[in-house]
Each structure stands twice: as structure tokens, then as C-alpha cells.
Amino acid sequence: MSAQPMKIPGPDHPITITPNPKRVVVTWNGRVVADSRKALTLKEARYPAVSYIPRGDVDVALLARSPHKSHCPYKGEASYYTIVSDGKRSENAIWSYEDPSDAVGEIKGYVAFYPDRVDSIEELTIQGRRDADGA
């Protein structure tokens, strides 16, 4: 864990993590980079919701680790990855908290994508899934 100070989410800075009931598909440069039915949705304070996708649902052959790092006082140190395909690169398009704070431990082993550094992040209804009233 980073030596930088950590904060605990609370009423002034809430963080929630919930299973995403939809299929999340991320594309870039004509390739599917991630396709998951097990994504998590992280909502933090007033920021837009972010889909976190299990590494096992990401085409890691397209990723190159970046030397870039950042620190969030609520989640910890983020590592970054560049997407590489057909001679093109999307620099630092993906981040991951590889050793997240206990408050967000569920995102360990997951990655997130910057929407402006990929072609699309789609949330698709999973066929055959029924809603709560069985319809």
C-alpha cells in the first residue's frame, strides 16, 4: 500500500460498489478489449459511475503496463495500462488498484477504462435475464 495518507469514505465522500446486472463490452480500434457479465459499478461522491471489469474478462494480450501511477486518498495507488493493437496505442487508457484500500477491496483484480480513450463502453441487457417481478 502507498505511504501516502488514506481517507475513509463517509457521508462527505461516499463510495458504493455494486454488481452491474448488465453485460459490459469495451471496444477500441475495432477490437473487443473487454467483455464481462461480472462487472462492478463504483459510484464515488459526485463523480460519474465507473464500471470495473475483472481482469479475466479483459484481453490482456492487448495491454502494456505503463510507468504512470496516481494516488487516490480513498482507493490507494493506481497502476495504468496502455492498449496496443495494429501499431496503434491508447496511452494510459486503463487503470487498476492492485492493492486497494480496505474500503474498496472488492475492486482488487478489476480494471477500469477511460471513456475518452476507448471507442465505446457499452452496457447491454443480458438476454434471458428476468427482472425482479419475474416478467
| Calpha distance 31→61 (Å, rounded) | 12
Q: Would you state the pLDDT for residue 112?
A: 98
Q: Would you state the pLDDT for residue 48?
A: 96
| Calpha distance 95→107 (Å, rounded) | 11
User: Could you tell me the mean pLDDT of each successive run of 10 residues in the chain, 135 residues long?
Assistant: 79 97 97 98 97 98 98 97 97 98 97 98 81 46
pTM of the model: 0.90
Residue 113 grid coordinates: 477504462
Q: β-strand 50-54 against 110-113: which pairing, if any? A: antiparallel
Other CB atoms within 10 A of residue 20 CB: 18
| Calpha distance 133→86 (Å, rounded) | 46
Q: Would you state the pLDDT for residue 127?
A: 76
List, in sequence order, every beta strand (DSSP E) within 1-135: 15-19, 23-28, 31-36, 40-44, 50-54, 63-72, 76-85, 88-96, 110-113, 120-124
